[in-house]
Amino acid sequence: MALPIVAVVGRPNVGKSTFVNRIAGAQDAIVHEMRGVTRDRSYHEADWNGVHFTLIDTGGIEMGNEDAFQKSIRDQAIMATEEADAIVFLVDGKTGSSPDDLEVARILKRSGKPVMLAVNKMDAPGKEDGIWEFYSLGLGDPWPISSVHGHGTGDLLDEIVSHIKDIEVEEEEEVDSINVAIIGRPNAGKSSLTNRLIGRDRTIVSDVAGTTRDAVDTVVEHDGKLYTIVDTAGLRKRTKIDEDVEYYSFVRAMRAIDRADVAILVIDATLGLTDQDQRVAGFAAERGCAMVVLMNKRDIVESGEALDELRETINDRLVFVNYAPVISISALTGKGVLRIWDAVDTVYENFSSQVSTSKLNAWLQGIREFGHTVSKGKKVLKMKYVTQTCTCPPEFTFFCNHPELINDNYERFLENRLRQSFDLTGTPVRFKFKRKD
Ligand code: GDP
Ligand code: GDP
């Protein structure tokens, strides 16, 4: 399910990261485990009084020359107004207001989105004279806060949450279908592919436009099953900020992935794999989506060897989703497109599968007999029992004598073995280890 987005905007050093860390705190989980993430923006999961939301920290923008600096502030403000459901505009109560603040305020005001003006670094409650000058920004009453000490942040969060708490609810009316997100760089061929997938059947059940503002959902029936296809290309065609289409497509992909069962990563085979493909794939894996990777535009790829090479690059650089099937297609000619449905069905089946406990324990017996284990001093890991504790994606809980001994290598060993014995093509798996003496 998509979470409402709250963007934190402000000049460098006003305390955005400090603020975000205070609010997201230990729950900060979205991005830091992803590989290949650049630190241009970060996404954090947060909740307040049971309302969950995504915080975007627009910090980390590099200060170039003065012009570039002002432009980047403008850009973040514009992006925030496009993407966010609510905006926290953070200013610095110690240094006071600056001309940049005024410009940002103007942009934010025009958006019509809820904007909370937070005056940070008000470390001494009661001594709040510094906030008066910020009334001139025309954003209503400023909220004095101290991100370091926490004063005022609770009240501010109450206010933020009052603006976003109903957004989640709207999105809960979902059709019972396999949710498929089509993700990838701009021009990779997402729209073309979506049209293929939707058009061929001509059995469009409904157009749920506006379920989210940033992607168009189409419910389509294929072989008696319903699929909700979420094309993340939509908004780009409407936005005017061409420079940052990459960023937009990333944010949209994130939101789509949040709701997806299966992510279809479309790679432009004529351009090869990009960093953003890697980021998005990492994100989908982290969020537990099943995945299919498409090498699109095969009709204009020079040779079979070029495709093989790309396949190898994908195997290397997307090794963390090496369970995903890789298919070459042409969204333009339709070649290979039929295989996508089969792939989606397969990966979804595995994603939602439940492996019987008896089969799992027969498998575990084999692992024990194989003899590979980990030890530390006198402690030797003994696996006792395993059972599947969740689906979508499958989660397996292992009971063992010393869970603390388990390391990444051993986990990978188990995962490889598990995948050799059970068909888990296309789906990530999760492991938990619990103590049982
Ligand atoms: P960002 O560039 O906007 O993300 O700002 P940072 O979060 O990195 O903070 C910039 C500096 O301001 C750091 O040295 C912080 O410790 C400091 N800072 C942030 N919030 C507060 C606050 O509430 N009070 C004080 N006194 N300093 C703060
Ligand atoms: P999106 O931005 O990812 O939605 O990409 P589009 O679907 O808009 O496609 C971008 C461009 O690539 C368009 O000009 C498409 O006609 C072209 N395109 C998409 N798929 C293919 C393909 O399989 N082969 C060729 N030759 N062109 C394609």
State residue 234's pLDDT score: 43
State residue 298's pLDDT score: 95
Comparing 141 with 207, the larger pLDDT belongs to: 141
Is 70 exceeded by the pLDDT of residue 267? yes
Query: What Å distances lie between residue 247 and 15, 254, 255, 276, 280, CA to CA?
Result: 23, 11, 13, 9, 11
Q: pLDDT (tens digit, 9 = 90+) per residue, 164-187? A: 887 754 444 556 889 999 988 888
- How far, in whole angstroms, is CA 69 from its chain's centroid? 27
Point out the ligand nearest to the CA of residue 118.
1
Binding site membership of 144 for ligand 1 (Cβ less than 6 Å): no
State residue 24's pLDDT score: 83
Say how far apart CA 409 and CA 248 lie, in whole Å.
36
The answer to whether the beta carbons of residues 330 and 297 sit under 8 Å apart is yes
- Least confident residue range of 29-33, 122-126, 270-274, 312-316: 29-33
Is 50 exceeded by the pLDDT of residue 190? yes
Closest by Cα among 105, 31, 2 to 280: 31
Domains of the chain, earliest start first: 5-164 (3.40.50.300), 178-351 (3.40.50.300), 357-435 (3.30.300.20)
State residue 217's pLDDT score: 74
Mean pLDDT value across residues 90-117:
89
State residue 107's pLDDT score: 85
List the residue whose alpha carbon is closest to atom 19 of ligand 1: 15
Say how far apart CA 368 and CA 371 lie, in whole Å.
5
Mean pLDDT value across residues 83-96:
91
Q: What is the rounded average pLDDT for all residues in the chain?
A: 82
Confidence of residue 117 (pLDDT cuts 50, 70, 90): very high
List the residue whose alpha carbon is closest to atom 18 of ligand 2: 189
Confidence of residue 292 (pLDDT cuts 50, 70, 90): very high
The answer to whether the beta carbons of residues 265 and 277 sit under 8 Å apart is yes
Q: Rounded to the nearest whole angstrom, what is the distance from the C-alpha of residue 312 to the centroid of ligand 2?
A: 23
Confidence of residue 218 (pLDDT cuts 50, 70, 90): confident
Comparing 323 with 223, the larger pLDDT belongs to: 323
List the residue whose alpha carbon is closest to atom 15 of ligand 1: 15
Comparing 166 with 265, the larger pLDDT belongs to: 265
Binding site membership of 76 for ligand 1 (Cβ less than 6 Å): no
Say how far apart CA 92 and CA 11 lie, in whole Å.
8
Percentage of the chain modeled with pLDDT above 70: 80
Point out the ligand nearest to the CA of residue 197.
2
- Ligand 2 neighbours, Cβ below 6 Å, are 184, 186-192, 233, 296-297, 299-300, 330-332
State residue 413's pLDDT score: 94
State residue 71's pLDDT score: 60
Is 60 exceeded by the pLDDT of residue 82? yes
Nearest atom in ligand 1 to 59's CA:
4
Confidence of residue 208 (pLDDT cuts 50, 70, 90): very low
Mean pLDDT value across residues 143-164:
93
Is 60 exceeded by the pLDDT of residue 201? no
State residue 41's pLDDT score: 55
Comparing 234 with 9, the larger pLDDT belongs to: 9
Q: Rounded to the nearest whole angstrom, what is the distance from the C-alpha of residue 15 to the centroid of ligand 1?
A: 3
Comparing 324 with 34, the larger pLDDT belongs to: 324
Query: Position 387: which residue type?
Result: T
State residue 126's pLDDT score: 77
- DSSP letters along 49-100, please? TTEEEEEEE---PPP-SHHHHHHHHHHHHHHHHHH-SEEEEEEETTT---HH
Percentage of the chain modeled with pLDDT above 90: 45
Q: What is the value of ipTM here, to two decimals?
A: 0.58
Which of 92, 148, 149, 156 most suits a substitution to test ligand 1, by most atoms within 8 Å of the C-beta?
148
Mean pLDDT value across residues 141-162:
93
- Least confident residue range of 1-15, 91-105, 210-224, 262-276: 210-224
